Amino acid sequence: MLFDIAIHKKLPQFSLDVQLASQSERLALVGASGSGKSLTMQLLCGLLKPDGGHIRIGGETWFDAHTDLPVQSRRAGLMFQDYALFPHLSVAQNIGFGLQTGWRNPGKKPHKTVQQWLDTLQLAHVAHQRPGQISGGQKQRTALARALITAPKILLLDEPFSALDTGLRATTRKATADLLAQAGVAAILVTHDQNEALSFASQVAVMRQGRFTQVGTPFEVYSRPADEATALFLGDALVLPAELRGGRARCAIGEISIDDPHAVGQGRVMLRPEQLVISPSPADGQPLTVRDVDFSGHLSTLTLTLPGQREPLLVKTVSRQLWRPGAAVRIEVVGEARVFAR
């Protein structure tokens, strides 16, 4: 087992209790601020000591009732949100900081291993510049090289892409994942960004109030969330009260298929935006009316009203000129709705 983690820690205002067994080489811990992500990271790398449990990485015990390896013995590379680069050192010196040689004398040629990472991450042309003289993307790559140069067993990434511009964030995230795969280094990403977790990791652990509410592949946690709170945290969703019977649900948008054929009675159903096909409604069709349109580029959020329904429906869909206040529309559902117990 690559990751075998079961730890608990009680603080004055917070209690953490997490368990995880995974063979995934890229794991993401995702949750809102205060959910316990960063605390978990500090416990894993040895900055804090758990009250009990165990941490085993790649078959090696880092912590249990008889073992507590110090930070420097855990072979964990660390990469922080602000990169924590030394402002008085050059890019090459920052990268080589963890090595015994190659960084102390700025006038000398970089250590051979440092030069390899400079070339790999396309930083050779800024090797002798300081962090204040390079771009955000270059800082991120410098921090990544510094974390990987000591050949860690795993890399712990704490919100490493959040300071980057939106366009650069996606390309840097993909490049980082590719580099880790090439280097054969496993990684744990801590992030509050759902899209980041879903796109970077091969397994996602959703955190809430110091617990993992769900662990699974990105597709599993997104399409089959464990509960309504997890569903809404991981992405846009339409959640409706419904009457459940015989693998079907009767709700505000009609009768639809559900993923639990045994569900009976009152419940709530969830649909993702990509499951909703919205089109103009004929005169005798579904009486949904567009009350408002919130345009945000290729997607728009429609506020829809339905006779007899007190609360409007908020539905995200692909933007079209047809979506105007007063327009009559209908909704068709693709696939099955996720069922949550009331």
* CATH of residue 62: 3.40.50.300
What's the sign of the alpha-carbon dihedral 29, 193, 196, 126?
Answer: negative
Q: Count of domains in the chain?
A: 2
- Written as tens digits, the pLDDT of the chain (342 aa) is 799 999 999 999 899 999 999 999 999 999 999 999 999 999 999 999 999 999 999 999 999 999 999 988 898 988 877 788 999 999 999 998 877 544 444 445 567 888 888 888 889 999 999 999 998 888 888 988 888 888 888 999 988 887 777 777 888 888 888 888 888 899 999 999 999 999 999 999 999 999 999 999 999 999 999 999 999 999 999 999 999 999 999 998 889 999 999 999 999 999 999 999 998 887 666 678 999 999 999 999 999 998 777 889 999 999 998 899 999 998 999 999 999 976
Of 166, 196, 228, which residue sits at a domain end? Answer: 228
Beta strands in 165-275 (DSSP E): 186-191, 203-208, 211-216, 238-245, 248-251, 254-257, 265-271
324 with 193, same domain? no
180 with 91, same domain? yes
Instruction: Look at the block and give the residue holding tokens 């345009």.
Output: 295
* 288 three-state secondary structure: strand
Of 199, 228, 257, which residue sits at a domain end? Answer: 228
179 with 263, same domain? no
Name, in order, each residue with C-beta under 8 angstroms of 39's C-beta and a sequence gap of 6 or more: 9, 11, 14, 16, 48, 210
* Distance separating alpha carbons of residues 142 and 159, to the nearest angstrom: 16
202 with 285, same domain? no
Contact 128, 91 (CB under 8 A): yes
CA dihedral 264, 270, 276, 278 (to 10 degrees): 90
* Distance separating alpha carbons of residues 101 and 84, to the nearest angstrom: 20
Range of the domain at 337: 236-341
* Distance separating alpha carbons of residues 127 and 105, to the nearest angstrom: 13
Of 228, 251, 266, which residue sits at a domain end? Answer: 228
Helix, strand, coil in percent for the chain, rounding step 5: 25, 35, 40
217 with 241, same domain? no
183 with 266, same domain? no
Contact 30, 221 (CB under 8 A): no
276 with 163, same domain? no
175 with 242, same domain? no
- Record the pTM: 0.86
Q: Which amino acid is at 171?
A: T
135 with 223, same domain? yes
Using alpha carbons, list the distances in angstroms from residue 95 to 84, 89, 249, 251: 12, 10, 57, 58
212 with 240, same domain? no
280 with 328, same domain? yes
243 with 216, same domain? no
CA dihedral 146, 149, 151, 152 (to 10 degrees): 0
